[in-house]
Amino acid sequence: MTQQMSGQGAAQGATPGGAQAAQAFKRSCGTCTLCCKVYGIADTQSPIGQWCKHCEPGRGCSIWETRPAFCRQFYCNWIMLDWLGEEWRPDISKIVFTIEPSSGFLMFQVDPGTPDAWKREPYYSQIKRWATEGLSQAKCVLVFVDKAATLVLPDGDAQLGELGPQDRINIGPGGDGTIKVEVKRGPKPS
């Protein structure tokens, strides 16, 4: 199986219709602002892993009416999937969970202030179950802490380092019955 990454900076969780689509969701962000920390937003010059300069943590965005398109279109899975329990709310779990639109990969952006949050229960066992289910459908489960990526597999976790938009993850059987993982690096963006 070979999968191409769209890159960590893609509009993960974005939905067509932007703010209009928010009306269909049963949940709202409320006081949660973790997406304002774990994603890098070029329009606001906010690096990955640092609070956006326009974010008031626990309160919201100070430029809500004029926020960038990425922010207007972004919805995490806790907002979009009402079957996820309250424990998956990003400000509780310290994890922003999305599905990457072009690949269907499950993506978990972890608050760098609590880098092991994804390894705690009930998260880790559920993430492992999703990894097992996804592998049979050529869908990967990736966890990011800042820019460092980890591929979650049924038999272990593979540290991938920083992934670029053209990088490919090759997954196949290892000679000893394990799963072999290799990252084919694409050209560096100029």
pLDDT digits (tens, 9 = 90+) for 134-162: 887 878 899 999 989 999 998 889 999 99
Mean predicted lDDT score pLDDT of the chain: 84
Task: Enumerate residues 6+ apart whose C-beta is below 8 A from 139.
Answer: 103, 104, 105, 106
Does residue 189 fall inside a structural domain? no
Does residue 190 fall inside a structural domain? no
Summarize pLDDT for 60-93 with one digit per residue, the tens.
899 988 999 889 889 999 999 999 999 999 999 9
Does residue 143 fall inside a structural domain? yes
Does residue 107 fall inside a structural domain? yes
Question: What total of structural domains would you count in the chain?
Answer: 1
Q: For residues 25 and 22, give the distance between their C-alpha atoms in angstroms, rounded to a whole number.
A: 6
The answer, yes or no, to whether residue 36 has pLDDT greater than 70, is yes
Summarize pLDDT for 111-131 with one digit per residue, the tens.
999 999 999 999 999 999 999
pLDDT value of residue 166? 80
pLDDT value of residue 51? 94
Task: Enumerate residues 6+ apart whose C-beta is below 8 A from 146.
Answer: 48, 49, 112
pLDDT value of residue 32? 94
Does residue 156 fall inside a structural domain? yes
Does residue 82 fall inside a structural domain? yes
Across 154-179, average pLDDT = 83
- The tokens describing 27, both together, are 């949940």
Element (H, E) at 69: helix 69-73
Question: What letter would DSSP give residue 73?
Answer: H
The answer, yes or no, to whether residue 170 has pLDDT greater than 50, is yes
The answer, yes or no, to whether residue 2 has pLDDT greater than 50, is no
Strands 55-56 vs 60-61: parallel, antiparallel or unpaired = antiparallel
Does residue 26 fall inside a structural domain? yes
Range of the domain at 120: 2-184
Model-wide pTM > 0.85: no
Does residue 68 fall inside a structural domain? yes
The answer, yes or no, to whether residue 31 has pLDDT greater than 70, is yes
Cα 54–Cα 164–Cα 32 angle in degrees, nearest 5? 30
Looking from the CA of 9 toward its CB, the CA atoms found within 13 Å total 13
